[in-house]
Amino acid sequence: MKTLSTRILEEVVALPAAALIYAKRLLHLGSRAAVDQTLSRLARRGQLLRVGRGLYMRPLETRFGRRTPSVEVVLNALQAETGETITPSGAAAANTLGLITQVPVRTIYLTSGPSRRLRLGTQTVELKHASPWQLTLPGRPAGEVIRALAWFGRERGPDLTSQLKQTLSPETVQELSSARGRVPTWVAEQIAAMMARA
C-alpha cells in the first residue's frame, strides 16, 4: 500500500507546475492533521517548497537543479486560487512611473485578501491588505498612478500631478478619469488637475 507521502506527490505531479498546494486540496487522501504533517515533511525534504503558512508549491526543475518559482508565478497562482486582487505597492508604482529612483528595499504588494508574508527561497514577499480604491485598475499604468498618489499622500499630490502630466499618455489620463468615482475626493481632484493640464 502506498504511503500518504507517495500519494500526495503523485497528486502534486498531476497539477500544473505553478499550482498552489494546501491541505484542503488533498483531504481526499487523508485526515487534515495527517495531510498537514506530510506536507510539512515533504517541505523539509525539499520535495515541496513552503511559500506561506499552509501553502506549498513544487520546486521548478531546471538543468541547474531545483529552484523557487518567481514572485510573479506565485502571486498569479495565489490570485487564481483565491480570487484576490494583488498589485505592486505604491512605492513600486512610484518607481515604475519614474517618480522616485530608489528601488524599494522590501518587496510589498497590496492585496484584497488578508495581510501575510510569503517566503520564496531567500526572498520574503509581504502582502498588505489595502482598501478597494487602492487596488483600482491592477496591472494598468492608470492604476499605478492611483497607488503612487496614495503612497505619497494628499500633501504631495499637487507636486506629483505636475510631474505626471509630462509623461502620461492621453489614454492613461482618460482611464484615470473613468476611475474618479472609485477613489477618495483628494485623488479625484488630482486626476481632474491632470485632465485640465493634458
Phi, psi at 47, each rounded to 5°: -80, -20
Whole-angstrom distance, CA of residue 90 vs CA of residue 88: 7
Distance, CA of 60 to CA of 77 (rounded, Å): 14
66 forms beta bridges with 61
Closest CA to 133 of 56, 188, 193, 59: 188
Flag whether the pTM goes above 0.75: yes
Q: pLDDT at position 166, please?
A: 80
SS3 content of the chain, % helix, strand, coil (to 5): 50, 15, 35
Cβ-contact 61, 46 below 8 angstroms: no
Residue 193: per-residue pLDDT: 87
Q: Give the residue ranges of DSSP H helices in 45-89.
A: 71-82
Residue 62 bridge partners (DSSP) = 65
Architecture of domain 4-67: Orthogonal Bundle (1.10)
Per-residue tens of pLDDT for the chain, all 198 residues: 789 999 999 999 898 878 899 999 999 999 999 999 999 999 999 899 999 889 999 988 778 877 888 899 999 999 999 999 999 999 999 999 988 888 777 899 999 999 999 998 888 999 999 999 999 999 999 999 999 999 999 888 788 888 888 888 999 999 999 999 999 999 999 999 888 754
* CA–CA dist 74, 80 (Å, integer): 10
Q: Do the Cβ atoms of 145 and 126 come closer than 8 Å?
A: no
The pLDDT value recorded for residue 197 is 55
- Helix, strand counts (H, E) of the chain: 8, 8
In the chain the beta strands, taken as DSSP E runs, fall at 49-52, 55-57, 60-62, 65-67, 86-88, 107-111, 116-120, 123-129
